[in-house]
A = this chain, B = another copy of it.
């Protein structure tokens, strides 16, 4: 019986997982190729447990995969899990992209011609 909901879990979805700057940094490093945990620890200057914890979150939402190699675990990016974010934010691209301004011109143009065609009011 859940009565209170404080805040969505970071493991709820990619949006939450990626809201943390450190985790975005981790992904940015992994974008350059798979890496064992210690490499990430060194490159990010974080403590090892923190990195492991962030990796766990990223794992749970499927943004990264792990592969065991001897005593180390090599993490690899799975960018596909970020697609929902891209798909969502893409719809707002109109707000800043010049490309869409051009598109708008075309659409307005089409609309005018349409209205000229049939005298449909409203």
User: Hey, which bits of chain A sit against chain B, CB under 8 A?
Assistant: 7-8, 15-16, 18-21, 24, 27, 31, 77-80, 82-83, 85-86, 88-96
9 contacts between A and B (CB under 8 A): A7-B7, A8-B20, A8-B21, A15-B21, A19-B19, A27-B92, A77-B95, A82-B89, A86-B93
Q: Which applies to chain A's interface (DSSP): helix, strand, loop or mixed?
A: helix
**CB of A60, distance to nearest CB on chain B (Å):** 15
Q: A15-B21, A82-B89, A82-B92 are in contact. List 4 more A-B contacts (CB 8 A).
A: A77-B95, A80-B95, A83-B95, A86-B90
| Nearest chain B residue, comparing its CB with the CB of A22 | B8
What separation, in Å, do the CA atoms of A90 and B4 have in the docked complex?
35
